[in-house]
């Protein structure tokens, strides 16, 4: 199976959501069916970056993961782009046979049988500020295949009041999925410094809102990697 890969890096720590702080190697797939207005990973999305993506076999990807992790099993994080537009089934099978765990981040627009072989499926439906519209039938199909995964969680990025209300509606319809919220990062240029105080202020705003509303269901987290390394790539 050949895969279009934008980058493979690590070990680092998972900076977002349910596995925050966990050591991991990232495999970032090239290509996405969405164009979120605020995407922080456009180098893995837009075709003008295609020349920097590598066509690799699953075996070669697996060799790199093993090399980066020193053959010590850890969690491999599949991200992108949308990893679900490709077939990661054989990479997952090879890794699991060696005791590695797999997590996948996807917007929930394309369902794949290999979701069932994951340890963690992170579904991240996109709020209005992204400019994308969620296909809820496709999202449900992802949920159904993800039932086989060890855990399935939802992560929503919040930029403004409209996104917040939207997240509350989505949670009301999917209240069985553990929910993680993270404030959006408005500065995604890897060369630009991030304003840590502005990030903290947006996190404080989001936490304050949920607490004031008595909405105690979500865990609300910063992007830990952004606090440490800013918008640097490959970390």
Ligand X SMILES: C[S@@+](CC[C@H](N)C(=O)[O-])C[C@H]1O[C@@H](n2cnc3c(N)ncnc32)[C@H](O)[C@@H]1O
Give the H or E element holding residue 186. Answer: none
Binding to ligand 2KA by CB under 6 A, coded x per residue (else -) over 158-187, reads ------------------------------
* Shortest distance in whole angstroms from residue 188 CB to ligand X: 5
Q: Torsions phi, psi of 26, nearest 5?
A: -95, 135
Angle at 121 between CA 155 and CA 59, to 5 degrees: 130
- The answer to the question of whether 195 is labelled as a binding residue is no
- For 38, counting Cβ atoms within 10 Å of its Cβ (0-12 exposed, 13-18 middle, 19+ buried), the class is middle
Q: List the single partner that 42 binds among Mg ion, ligand 2KA, ligand X, none, CB under 5 to 8 Å by kind.
A: none
User: Rule CB under 6 A: is residue 152 a binding residue for ligand X?
Assistant: no
How far CA 232 is from CA of 52, 106, 162, in Å, comes to 17, 21, 29
| Minimal distance, residue 70 CB to ligand X, in Å | 26
The helix or strand, by DSSP H or E, that contains position 174, with its residue range, turns out to be none
Three-state secondary-structure class, residue 62: helix
Q: Which does 107 bind (CB under 5 to 8 A by kind): ligand SF4, ligand 2KA, Mg ion, none?
A: ligand SF4
Q: Is 21 left (phi over 0), alpha (psi -120 to 50) or beta?
A: left
Chain residues binding ligand X by CB under 6 A are 32, 38-41, 79-82, 105-107, 124, 155, 157, 182, 184-185, 188, 223
Task: Detail the residues annotated as belonging to a binding site.
Answer: 13-15, 28, 32, 36, 38-41, 79, 81, 124-126
Chain residues binding ligand SF4 by CB under 6 A are 32, 34-36, 39, 41, 45, 80-82, 107
């Amino acid at each position: 199976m050949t895969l279009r890969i934008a980058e493979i890096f690590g070990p680092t720590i998972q900076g977002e959501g349910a596995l925050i702080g966990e050591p991991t190697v990232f495999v970032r797939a090239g290509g996405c069916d969405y164009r979120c207005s605020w995407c922080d990973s456009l180098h893995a999305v837009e075709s003008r970056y295609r020349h920097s993506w590598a066509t690799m076999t699953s075996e070669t990807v697996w060799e790199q993961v093993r090399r980066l992790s020193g053959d010590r099993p850890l969690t491999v994080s599949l991200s992108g782009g949308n990893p679900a537009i490709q077939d990661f089934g054989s990479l997952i099978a090879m890794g699991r046979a060696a005791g590695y765990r797999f997590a996948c981040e996807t917007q929930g627009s394309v369902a794949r049988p290999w979701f069932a072989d994951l340890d963690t499926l992170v579904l991240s439906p996109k709020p209005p500020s992204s400019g994308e519209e969620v296909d809820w039938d496709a999202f449900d199909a992802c949920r159904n295949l993800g039932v086989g995964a060890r855990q399935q969680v939802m992560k929503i990025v919040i930029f403004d009041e409209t996104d917040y209300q939207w997240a509350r509606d989505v949670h009301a319809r999917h209240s069985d999925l553990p929910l993680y919220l993270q404030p959006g990062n408005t500065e995604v240029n890897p060369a630009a410094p991030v304003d840590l105080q502005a990030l903290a202020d947006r996190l404080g705003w989001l936490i304050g809102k949920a607490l004031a509303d008595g909405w105690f269901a979500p865990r609300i987290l910063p992007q830990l990697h952004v606090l440490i390394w800013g918008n640097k790539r490959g970390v």
